[in-house]
Amino acid sequence: MKDSGSDASAAAAERELPLSQKAVKVLGNVCFSAFVLSVLVFTVIAVTYQPPDPWLDSPKAIISKSLAATLPNATFRTDDSVLPTGEDLVPVPPRNDTAADAANDTIPADPTNDTNPADPVNNATAADGASVLLPSLPPPASDCDADAPINCSDPRALVAIRRFNARVFRRSIVFLSYEKPVPGSASGECDAAWRFRNRREKSWRRYRDYRRFRLVPADNCTYEVVSAGKFRSGANAAPKPLPSRRSSSPSSPAQILDAEINDTIPTLGSDSDFRKGKYLYYTRGGDYCKGMNQYLWSFLCALGEAQFLNRTLVMDLNICLASTYNPSGRDEEGKDFRFYFDFEHLKESASLVEESEFLRDWRRWERSSGRKTGGKITVHKVPTYKVTPMQLKKDKSTIIWRQFDGPEPENYWYRVCEGRAAKYIQRPWQAIWKSKHLMNIVSQIAGRMDWDYDAVHVVRGEKARNKELWPNLDADTSPEALVQKLLKVIRQWRNLYIATNEPFYNYFDKLRSHYKVHLLDDYKEMWGNTSQWYNETMVLNNGRPVVFDGYMRVAVDTEVLYRAKNRVETFNNLTRDCKDGINTC
């Protein structure tokens, strides 16, 4: 009875509470319940959800998925892809390719342009081809002779060529500077040369083109272009070939080198300069002869540590190309970093010294200056990657010498940047661009198609043969399936570039009944023994010919693919299979 009485009194007391207090009590209970529920939901999501890494899943990412999972047993699982490099990182605002928007694009003046500032053609503001401010021309003469022969040195000829290029290539390339036209091979023809950059390339590297134009007189004593040649058809405006640097034999091919490439190896200077420097030296480790993606991942770890320690990185330019890129199926040593990557840009972006130059100066110091002055080069040898960059931050030694003598994977360079060090070391991806020697080939291929083409990426090879992971890929990329699918997305008789690892050249013949098909092997002369690429790489290789290897092929294929107006991908468009196999989409 006592309990019943107490319950009744409590109920009566609650009934006597003001309405506002009851509302506050109910609201408090609701808020507390919502808080408990939200904590529970957040906990479940945090435990079960694995968000995708935007760096690794974006098509413009720095690293492929093979780099992402820092892999079982610290090894790299690679595919046939090429690692996008630093020029893919440069942010570019969304562009509306209209003349009005393009008018806001300003191009820095060309420092190598030696034209007269008073020249009424070349003193205009350098802007993109769609909106370049064309010079004002002299007033038309009353006695203008429409039947007079075309004068290529007349400013009106260059104005007509610039207007024609601005109209035709507005969406593809940006014109940086022009040279004065010269006469072509026949009356009414003018050859003109210019420097340009590609709109789809985010670096500001310049390329060169020269074409032949046919001009006719127009109204008000102006000229008009009625036809234009293909990429580099204006032979009279081409740069003059240089004598061979390696041989005086008359049979040696003339060398046409790109004057804007500076692949020279920097020197340290005097002995005192060497002594004042601070260096980070990595000896060769287990990354040697691994895939190019792992090489870059490790090299940029070393470069990032050098920047963190405010030291000059000692760099070995020799690369061992992994067997996956070679038809022989064997690793190939003796490759040069400059074959694949832009060494000039790297030198401008980071403090570097080449390894043989560094070792030579070190030995010279020890033999001469060290004995005379009693001074020695202090060296701190670091035998394991477990010594972190943070522990070396205050080290005063002239040389920090990291040694990688342990078994794999203990001897991989990138282990230095794992663990806590990952919070301090930033890999300078912006320092790595693809080689200008290769990018010149890319521009030539795109130029041959007048920058007006579509592309399809057809992945076959080992993946098409592996039915367990990719059961549909082989059938989905058969010639019949390709014709059926591409006709739905690409207009007939367009230029169609096919980037592929399919080894049989005639595999895509059925597409030729519907498109103007282009394959990488259609352009073999661009790396043949009379090409600019051949001459330039021979100079880098001490006069020995360089093989256009598998990695170079994939790099060029990929870059031409990126520059297409419309792009069709294998795993996004052509097949139902996932890029990394079943259940990985």
| Confidence band for 111, pLDDT divided at 50, 70 and 90 | very low
- Dist. CA 159–CA 148, nearest whole Å: 18
Buried b (16+ CB within 10 A) or exposed e, 358-383: beebbeebeeebbeeeeeebeeeebe
Last residue of a domain, one of 237, 254, 288: 237
Question: How confident is the model over 69-91, as a mean pLDDT?
Answer: 53
Does residue 71 form part of some domain? no
Count of domains in the chain?
Answer: 4
CATH number at residue 533: 3.40.50
pLDDT by residue (tens digit) across 240-258?
A: 765 544 444 444 445 556 7
Q: Which residue has the tokens 């832009």?
A: 342
SS3 341: strand
Give the bridge partners for 346, in sequence order.
Answer: none
pLDDT of residue 1: 47
pLDDT by residue (tens digit) across 537-584?
A: 999 999 999 999 999 999 999 999 999 999 999 998 999 999 988 888
Structural domain of 324: 271-431
pLDDT of residue 344: 93
Same domain, yes or no: 149 and 286? no
Same domain, yes or no: 195 and 344? no
* Region of poorest pLDDT, from 85-94, 119-128, 259-268, 358-367: 119-128
Does residue 177 form part of some domain? yes
The one-character DSSP state at 571 is I
Same domain, yes or no: 393 and 484? no
* 29-36 long-range contacts, CB within 8 A, separation 24+: none
Q: What does pLDDT average to over the chain?
A: 80
Same domain, yes or no: 198 and 310? no
pLDDT by residue (tens digit) across 310-352?
A: 999 999 999 999 998 888 889 999 999 999 999 999 999 999 9
Question: How confident is the model over 396-401, as a mean pLDDT?
Answer: 94
Position with higher pLDDT, 481 vs 137: 481
Last residue of a domain, one of 409, 431, 453: 431
Same domain, yes or no: 278 and 400? yes
Six token digits for residue 123: 């003193």
Does residue 302 form part of some domain? yes
Does residue 419 form part of some domain? yes
Q: Is the pTM of this model over 0.85?
A: no
* 257-262 long-range contacts, CB within 8 A, separation 24+: 257/532, 257/535, 257/536, 257/539, 258/208, 258/436, 258/437, 258/440, 258/532, 258/536, 260/112, 260/205, 260/206, 260/436, 261/344, 261/436, 261/437, 261/536, 262/344
Plot region of 220 (φ>0 → left; ψ -120 to 50 → alpha; else → beta): left
**Is 137 buried (19+), middle (13-18) or exposed (0-12) by CB count in 10 A?**
middle
| Confidence band for 479, pLDDT divided at 50, 70 and 90 | very high
Does residue 112 form part of some domain? yes
pLDDT by residue (tens digit) across 489-539?
A: 999 999 999 999 999 999 999 999 999 999 999 999 999 999 999 999 999
Please say whether the beta carbons of 514 and 491 come within 8 A.
no
Does residue 449 form part of some domain? yes
Last residue of a domain, one of 416, 431, 446: 431
Same domain, yes or no: 425 and 279? yes
Same domain, yes or no: 419 and 458? no
Same domain, yes or no: 103 and 28? no
Same domain, yes or no: 468 and 399? no
- Dist. CA 105–CA 128, nearest whole Å: 6
Does residue 579 form part of some domain? no
Same domain, yes or no: 285 and 355? yes
Question: How confident is the model over 429-441, as a mean pLDDT?
Answer: 94
Same domain, yes or no: 34 and 182? no
Same domain, yes or no: 420 and 441? no
The one-character DSSP state at 61 is -
Q: What are phi and psi of 346, to 5 degrees?
A: -65, -45
Does residue 382 form part of some domain? yes
Give how far the C-alpha of residue 158 lies from the chain's centroid of Cα atoms, to the nearest Å.
33
